[in-house]
């Protein structure tokens, strides 16, 4: 099932067939600190195994923002790869995209949605995300 909603002159959709995978790969592999150098093949596998949200300019049809959620839609989700094209920044599109993700996940009764950010804490705090009080419980297995 895909979902679509509107924000100003943008349409936010979960339809993976609409994704501009070339643009997405260019954004993430060249303009982010977390995915710099990510191969196109790895990016495509990530997209294929995830719930994807993208915002499209309703006039041009161009993809203007993206967010990816890794989830079982039952207990847990990981929000990642949130990106807004530089030309579309400053108009609240990132906020609208995160709101669409939250609204899509809320009815599923997840126990936890997590994310990692180096610089956007204020954005995510608007939606109830908080720093982890008991971070000593978390562990990571790092392959790279």
| Beta strands, E only, the chain | 4-7, 10-13, 51-57, 63-71, 76-84, 112-114
pLDDT digits (tens, 9 = 90+) for 14-58: 999 999 999 999 999 999 999 999 999 999 999 999 999 999 999
Characterize 83-99 residue by residue with b for buried, 16 or more Cβ atoms within 10 angstroms of its Cβ, and e for exposed. bbbeebeeeebbebbbb
Cα–Cα dist 122/108, whole Å: 25
The pLDDT value recorded for residue 76 is 96
User: Which residues make Cβ contacts (< 8 Å) with residue 95, sequence separation at least 6?
Assistant: 123, 126
Cα–Cα dist 74/105, whole Å: 10
The pLDDT value recorded for residue 133 is 87
pLDDT digits (tens, 9 = 90+) for 71-110: 999 999 999 999 999 999 998 999 999 999 999 999 999 9
Q: Judge contact between 111 and 75, C-beta under 8 A.
A: yes
The pLDDT value recorded for residue 142 is 86
pLDDT value at 141 more than 90: no
Cα–Cα dist 12/53, whole Å: 7
Mean pLDDT estimate for the chain: 93
The pLDDT value recorded for residue 5 is 66
């Amino acid at each position: 099932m895909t979902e679509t909603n509107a924000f100003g002159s943008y349409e936010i959709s979960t339809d993976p067939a609409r994704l501009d995978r070339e643009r997405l790969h260019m954004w993430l592999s060249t303009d982010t600190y977390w995915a710099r150098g990510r191969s196109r093949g790895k990016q495509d596998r990530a997209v294929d195994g995830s719930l994807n949200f993208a915002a499209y300019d309703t006039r041009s049809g161009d993809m203007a923002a993206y967010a990816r959620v890794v989830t079982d839609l039952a207990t847990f989700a990981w929000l990642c790869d949130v990106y807004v094209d530089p030309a579309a920044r400053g108009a609240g599109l990132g906020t609208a995209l995160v709101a669409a993700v939250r609204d899509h996940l809320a009815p599923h009764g997840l126990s936890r949605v997590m994310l990692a950010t180096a610089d956007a804490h204020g954005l995510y705090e608007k939606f109830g995300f908080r720093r982890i009080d008991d971070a000593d419980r978390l562990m990571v297995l790092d392959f790279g």
